[in-house]
Structure 1
Amino acid sequence: MYSSEDCDIIMGQDRSLADMPCSLPLETSSSDSLVSIADSSFSSISGDDAGLLTELTKLSQSGVALTGGSCCYTLQYGGEVARAGNCLFDALALALGGFESGSEVRARCVAQFRKLMQKNVLLEGIEQRIANQYAPDITCGWGVECVQEHKLLIRFGDLAQAEAAIAERTDAGLDWTNAAGTVYEELGEKVDDLASWGRYMALDGSQRDDCCVVTLQYVEEGLLSVEISEGQGSFGDDLAIEVLATQYHREIYVVQAHGGGFDEEPALFFLPHKPLTEQHDAEHLPPVFLLMKGSDWRCCGADHYDPLIAQKRMLTDGAKPYITL
Structure 2
Amino acid sequence: MGKLLCDSTTVAETFQASSPVALPWRESKPAAPPESAVEAVDLVGHAAWDDVLGLEEQQRRHLQRLHAKGVLWKHPQGDDGDGSASVVFRLSHGGEVSSDGNCLFTASKKAMAAAREIDARELRRRTVSRFLEDFGSATSEETEMITDAIRHMYAPDMRSGWGIHVVQEVKLLAKKEDRQALDSAIDELLQLGMQRETAAESIYKERCLPVSDGPSWAKYMSISGSPDDEYDIITLQYTEEGLLSVDENRAGHAAAFGDDIAIECLATEFKREIYVDAMIKTGLCFTCFYKVQAHGSDAMVDEENCVFFLPHRPRSQICEPPFFLFMKGTGWCGAGADHYEPLIAHPCSFVSSEKVAMVL
Q: Does TM, normalized by the shorter one, top 0.5?
A: yes
Distance in 1 between residues matched to 2:182 and 2:256, nearest whole Å: 21
Q: Which amino acid aligns with 1:93?
A: K
Matched residue, 2:292: none
2:180 to 145, 160, 171: 160
1:313 to 348, 354, 357: 348
Matched, 1:117 2:135: yes
Matched residue, 2:23: none
TM-score, length basis structure 2? 0.75
Matched residue, 2:43: 34
Q: Which amino acid aligns with 2:343?
A: L
SS at 2:308 equivalent: strand
Distance in 2 between residues matched to 1:320 and 1:304, nearest whole Å: 31
> In angstroms, what is the RMSD of aligned CA positions?
2.3
Matched, 1:126 2:146: yes
Q: Is this contact kept in 2: 1:52–1:260, CA < 8 A? A: no
SS at 2:165 equivalent: coil
Q: Is this contact kept in 2: 1:149–1:217, CA < 8 A? A: yes
Distance in 2 between residues matched to 1:234 and 1:246, nearest whole Å: 20
Distance in 2 between residues matched to 1:246 and 1:257, nearest whole Å: 25
Relative to structure 1, the CA distance from residue 214 to residue 268 in structure 2 (aligned partners, 3 Å threshold; closer, same or farther) is: same
Q: Is this contact kept in 1: 2:353–2:359, CA < 8 A? A: no
1:270 to 283, 306, 309: 309
Deviations 1:294-313 (A, max 9, x none): 479xx942010000011111
SS at 2:44 equivalent: helix
Deviations 1:20-40 (A, max 9, x none): xxx997433xxxx42111xx1
Following superposition, the deviation at residue 226 of structure 1 comes to: 0.5
Matched residue, 1:209: 229
Distance in 1 between residues matched to 2:336 and 2:197, nearest whole Å: 24
Q: Is this contact kept in 2: 1:251–1:272, CA < 8 A? A: yes
SS at 1:197 equivalent: helix
Alignment of 1:42-57 (within 5 A): 42-47=49-54, 49-57=56-64
Distance in 1 between residues matched to 2:132 and 2:205, nearest whole Å: 26
Matched residue, 2:14: none
SS at 2:90 equivalent: strand
Distance in 1 between residues matched to 2:94 and 2:102, nearest whole Å: 16
Q: Is this contact kept in 1: 2:275–2:309, CA < 8 A? A: yes
Distance in 1 between residues matched to 2:340 and 2:55, nearest whole Å: 20
Distance in 1 between residues matched to 2:180 and 2:95, nearest whole Å: 40
Following superposition, the deviation at residue 108 of structure 1 comes to: 0.9
Distance in 2 between residues matched to 1:100 and 1:248, nearest whole Å: 12
Q: Which runs of 5+ in 1 are unaligned?
A: 1-22
Following superposition, the deviation at residue 44 of structure 1 comes to: 3.4
Matched residue, 1:102: 120
Higher relative contact order (CA 8 A, sep 6+): 2
Following superposition, the deviation at residue 80 of structure 1 comes to: 0.8
Q: Which amino acid aligns with 1:301?
A: G
Distance in 2 between residues matched to 1:294 and 1:100, nearest whole Å: 26
Matched, 1:178 2:217: no
Alignment of 1:1-325 (within 5 A): 26-28=39-41, 33-37=42-46, 40-47=47-54, 49-67=56-74, 69=83, 70-97=86-113, 98-120=116-138, 123-124=142-143, 125-229=145-249, 230-261=252-283, 262-266=299-303, 267-275=306-314, 277-279=315-317, 284-294=319-329, 300-316=335-351, 320-325=355-360
Distance in 1 between residues matched to 2:92 and 2:100, nearest whole Å: 22
Q: Is this contact kept in 1: 2:155–2:169, CA < 8 A? A: yes
Q: Is this contact kept in 1: 2:330–2:338, CA < 8 A? A: no
Relative to structure 1, the CA distance from residue 295 to residue 259 in structure 2 (aligned partners, 3 Å threshold; closer, same or farther) is: farther
Q: Which amino acid aligns with 2:67?
A: S
Following superposition, the deviation at residue 137 of structure 1 comes to: 0.5
Matched residue, 2:8: none
Q: Is this contact kept in 1: 2:56–2:281, CA < 8 A? A: yes
Following superposition, the deviation at residue 45 of structure 1 comes to: 3.0
Relative to structure 1, the CA distance from residue 189 to residue 72 in structure 2 (aligned partners, 3 Å threshold; closer, same or farther) is: same
Relative to structure 1, the CA distance from residue 116 to residue 169 in structure 2 (aligned partners, 3 Å threshold; closer, same or farther) is: same
Distance in 2 between residues matched to 1:99 and 1:311, nearest whole Å: 19
Relative to structure 1, the CA distance from residue 263 to residue 241 in structure 2 (aligned partners, 3 Å threshold; closer, same or farther) is: closer
Distance in 2 between residues matched to 1:301 and 1:118, nearest whole Å: 33
Following superposition, the deviation at residue 228 of structure 1 comes to: 2.3
Q: Which amino acid aligns with 1:290?
A: L
Q: Is this contact kept in 1: 2:66–2:90, CA < 8 A? A: yes
Distance in 2 between residues matched to 1:260 and 1:152, nearest whole Å: 33
